[in-house]
Amino acid sequence: MTSTSPASLRLWPAAIAGVVAVGAGLAGGELLAVTVDPNASPYVAVGSAVVDHSPAAVREFAINTFGTSDKVALFTGMTFLIVILAAACGVVQRRWPPAGTVIIGLFGVVGALAALGRPDAVWTFAIPSVGTALIAIVVLKVLLGMLPGAVSPAGTSPQDRDTISDDGAGMSSGPAVGRRFVLTAGGVAALAVVVGVMGRRILADTARTVADRTKLVLPKPRSAAPPVPPATDIGVPGATPFVTSNADFYRIDTALQVPNLTTADWSLRIHGMVDNEIRIGWDELLAMPMTERLVTLTCVSNEVGGDLIGNARWLGVPMSTLLERAGIRPQADMLLSTSSDGWTCGTPVSAVTDGRDALLVVGMNGEPLPLEHGYPVRQVIPGLYGYVSATKWVVDWELTQFSKARAYWTSRGWSALGPIKLASRIDRPDSRSEHPRGDVVIAGTAWAQHTGVRAVDVRIDDGPWQPADLAEQYSTDTWRQWRFTWAASPGEHTVACRAIDADGRTQVEDYASPVPDGATGLDTRTYAIT
Ligand SMILES: Nc1nc2c(c(=O)[nH]1)N[C@H]1C(S)=C(S)[C@@H](COP(=O)(O)O)O[C@H]1N2
Ligand SMILES: [Mo]
C-alpha cells in the first residue's frame, strides 16, 4: 500500500481508458460521417439538438454571455461534459461491468436519435453514432483488460473484481499500470486525434461553395441604391461606420455547420395557399430585375447598448415579385420560410406586399453573400427583427396562416410578430473612460426601421433631456448617427440617450428583457471627468 489513497489511484487509469475510448469512438464517428453526411456527425447532431431544444431564456443567456462566440462556447462545454462522462464510464465499467459499456451504448442511441432528427435525415444518419459507440466499447474493453487485476471479461464477476481492488493489488503489486496500457492508450489517443481532426476538416470543407461564390458575377440592379452622402456620417472619430462591412457584420444563427449550398444546388419552392405551386432556380432568379437597398438589420436578442445590429447594402429580387408569380390566396397571412438546414421563420405577408423593400437577397455590400450570411440566397425585410424576417440559406416558402403555423423561435417563447423597437445607443467614448473637463463629444446611433428617426436626446445625470445633433437621414430603413457636445464638469457623470421616431413616439425608458419581442430601456455610460 502506498500513502496516497489506493482507491483513487486505481480509478485514474480506468478514467483515462474511458476518455481515450470515447475519444477514439468520436473520431471514428467523424470519419463515418464523411461517408454519410456532415450533419450525421454525432458531435454536431447532439450539439444541434441542444440548440434546437433550448428555450428562449437559454438562447438569451448564451448570446448575452458569449455573444457571437456562442457556438464555440457550446462545443467547448460539450467537450468538457463528454470528457467527464467518458471518464466516469471508464471507472464504472472497471467497478461494475458492464455498466460503463451500457452507458456508452445509451449515448450512442442518443447520438443516433439526434442525427435522425436532423432535417433531411435518412436512416444512414444513425451509422456514425452507432459506430462511435461500438468503437468506444471495444477500445474500453481492450484498455481495461490491460490494467492489473483485470480478468478476461468472460470470467470476471463483480465479486472477483472487488476482492482484487479491496486489497489494493491493482496498484501495489506486479507491474501496476503497465507499459502496455500506457503505450496502447497513448497510441489510440494519438490516432484518434489525427483521425478526428482529419474527419472534421473534411466535414467542414467549404471549398466547393467557396469556389462557386468566387466565380459568381452579380447582376447590376435595375433599381440602384441611392449613393450614400458623406453627411450620413457624423464625423466623429471612433463613431460606428454608417455602412457595416461584411467582416464586421454580426452573425446569429442556429447552424453549427454553415450550410454548404452552391448556386447549382439552390432553388426556392413556393407552395401552400397559392394558385400555382412554383419552383424558382438560380438562373431564373438572377434573370429577374434586381433592387439594391441599404437596410439596417437587428437581432431581437440585442440588449440595450448591444452590437447585434448592422447596416448593409443588399442586392436582391423584391419578394413580392415571386409572390405575384405564385398568386397568393387572400386568406394567407404568413409566409413561412425554411432554410436548407431546417430553420423556419414566419413573416406577415403584409410586410412583404405593403411596398417596403423586402428582398430575396443575393448580394451584400457589392459581393455575393458571405457563406455565414446565407449564401447563396437570404431574405432581408426592413422593420422586422431577424428571427421573423431574415432567413438565410432560404429554400422553401409556404404560404399559410398565423393561426396554423409556428416557426423556429416562435415555438420557443418568442412573439409571433417582431417589429423592431425604436432604440438608440451611445458608441463613444468608451464607458468608464476619463476625460479632462470641458467639451466631450459623445456619438451614437439610433434606429426606427421603416419609420425613421426624427430626434435624439441626451441626458447628463438627472438633468433635462437635451437635443443631439443628427447626421443626415439616409432612408427610413437605415439607422441614423448622432452626436452631442457636452460641456463636462469634474466628477463622475452618467450619460443617457433616447430616440424619437418620425411619428413622434419616444423610445421606451423602462427596461424590458429581449424575450419575447425585443429589449427596451435606455443606454447609459458613465464617465470620469477630471
Ligand atoms: N437559416 C437561418 N436563418 C436565420 C437564422 C437562423 O438561425 N438560421 N437566424 C435569424 C436571426 S435570429 C437573425 S438576427 C439574422 C441574423 O443575420 P446575420 O447573421 O446575417 O446578421 O438571421 C436570421 N436568419
Ligand atoms: Mo436574431
Q: Are 351 and 358 in contact (CB under 8 A)?
A: yes
pLDDT at position 67, please? Answer: 81
**Mean pLDDT score, 316-325:** 97
pLDDT at position 236, please? Answer: 95
CA–CA separation, 110 and 352 (whole Å): 41
Nearest CA to ligand 1 atom 1: 392
CA–CA separation, 428 and 377 (whole Å): 35
Q: Is 89 exposed, middle or buried (0-12, 13-18, 19+ CB in 10 A)?
A: buried
**Mean pLDDT score, 383-392:** 98
β-bridge partners, 292: 315
Phi, psi angle pair for 308, to nearest 5°: -90, 60
* Ligand having the closest approach to the CA of 344: 1
pLDDT at position 342, please? Answer: 93
Whether 1 has a pLDDT exceeding 90, the answer reads: no
Pick the atom of ligand 1 nearest to 393's CA: 1
- Tens digits of residue pLDDT in 497-510: 999 999 999 999 99
Q: Where on the phi/psi map is residue 115: left (φ > 0), alpha (ψ -120 to 50), or beta? A: alpha
Mutate to test the pocket of ligand 1, among 300, 392, 395, 408 (most ligand atoms within 8 A of CB): 392
From ligand 1's centre to the CA of 235, what distance in Å?
Answer: 31
- % of the chain with per-residue pLDDT over 90: 84
From 39-43, 56-60, 379-383, the region with the lowest mean pLDDT:
56-60
Whether 36 has a pLDDT exceeding 50, the answer reads: yes
Cell 442586392 belongs to 315
At 251, is the secondary structure helix, strand, or coil? coil
Pick the atom of ligand 1 nearest to 341's CA: 1
For the record, the C-alpha cell of 101 comes out as: 459499456
At 149, is the secondary structure helix, strand, or coil? coil
pLDDT at position 157, please? Answer: 42
CA–CA separation, 447 and 305 (whole Å): 12
Listed residue (13, 339, 27) closest to 145, CA to CA = 13
CA–CA separation, 364 and 313 (whole Å): 6
* Ligand having the closest approach to the CA of 377: 1
Nearest CA to ligand 1 atom 12: 387
Pick the atom of ligand 1 nearest to 297's CA: 21
CA–CA separation, 380 and 29 (whole Å): 37
Nearest CA to ligand 1 atom 5: 253
pLDDT at position 464, please? Answer: 98
List CB contacts of 473: < 8 A, sequence separation 6 or more: 232, 452, 453, 480
Q: Where on the phi/psi map is residue 415: left (φ > 0), alpha (ψ -120 to 50), or beta? A: beta
CA–CA separation, 391 and 377 (whole Å): 9
Q: How far is CA 530 from CA 328, 427, 442, 524, 525, in A?
A: 64, 21, 17, 20, 16
Nearest CA to ligand 1 atom 7: 253
For the record, the C-alpha cell of 419 comes out as: 417589429
CA–CA separation, 527 and 530 (whole Å): 10
- Tens digits of residue pLDDT in 273-308: 999 999 999 999 999 999 999 999 999 999 999 999
From 9-13, 133-137, 336-340, the region with the lowest mean pLDDT:
9-13
DSSP 433-471: -EE-SEEEEEEEEEE-TTT-EEEEEEEETTS--EEPEEP
Ligand 1 neighbours (beta carbon < 6 A): 249-255, 297, 299, 339, 343, 373, 386-387, 390-393
For the record, the C-alpha cell of 233 comes out as: 456620417
pLDDT confidence tier of residue 70, bands split at 50, 70 and 90: confident
Q: For the chain, list the domains and their CATH numbers.
A: 6-167+174-205 (no CATH), 230-412 (3.90.420.10), 423-529 (2.60.40.650)
Q: Is 226 exposed, middle or buried (0-12, 13-18, 19+ CB in 10 A)?
A: exposed
**Mean pLDDT score, 138-149:** 90
pLDDT at position 6, please? Answer: 56
Dihedral sign computed on CA atoms, order 128, 129, 132, 135: negative
